Amino acid sequence: MKKIILMTCLVILIPFFIVSIFIKEDSVKFQFVNNTNVRIKRENGTIDVVPFEDYIVGVLAGEMPANFELEALKAQALAARSYVLKKIEQNNDQEYDVVDTVMNQVYLDDAKMREKWSNNYEKNLNKIKKI
C-alpha cells in the first residue's frame, strides 16, 4: 500500500515540478480578470464600455435566436468569449476593441434586446444569463 501511495505521489509531483520550472509568469500575454471591460464602437460612432459578461449576453442576443437549444447557445458563448478576448488583446492600443455589427460581433444593448424580444424579454434574458 505504501508503494502505491509513493508511486502515485511521484507520478503527480514529478510532472508538476518539471512544468513549474519552465513556465514563467511573464509568458502569459493576456489574463482574463472578472472586471474586464469591452470597448464597443457603436454604429452611431460612440464608444461604450461594457462589462465582459454583459457584452457576451448582448452578443448572444444579437447573433442567434434565444429559442435555440441551450447547448447551441453555450457553444456560441464560448466562441464569442474567445473572439472578444483575442480582439481585446489585438486592440489594446486602439480606441475600441470591437464594432457592434457583423464586422465583428453583433451586439445588442438592453434597450435593443427589449425591443427585439418585447413580451419574452425576461424569459430570454434569463435563459441567456444561465450560460
Q: What is the pLDDT of residues 71-123, one digit of tens each?
A: 999 999 999 999 999 999 999 899 999 999 999 999 999 999 999 999 999 99
Cell of 110: 438592453
In this prediction the pTM is: 0.73
DSSP string, 30-93: ----TT-EEEEE-TTS-EEEEEHHHHHHHHHHHHS-TTS-HHHHHHHHHHHHHHHHHHHHHTTT
Q: What is the pLDDT of residues 41-78, one digit of tens each?
A: 999 999 999 999 999 999 999 999 999 999 999 999 99
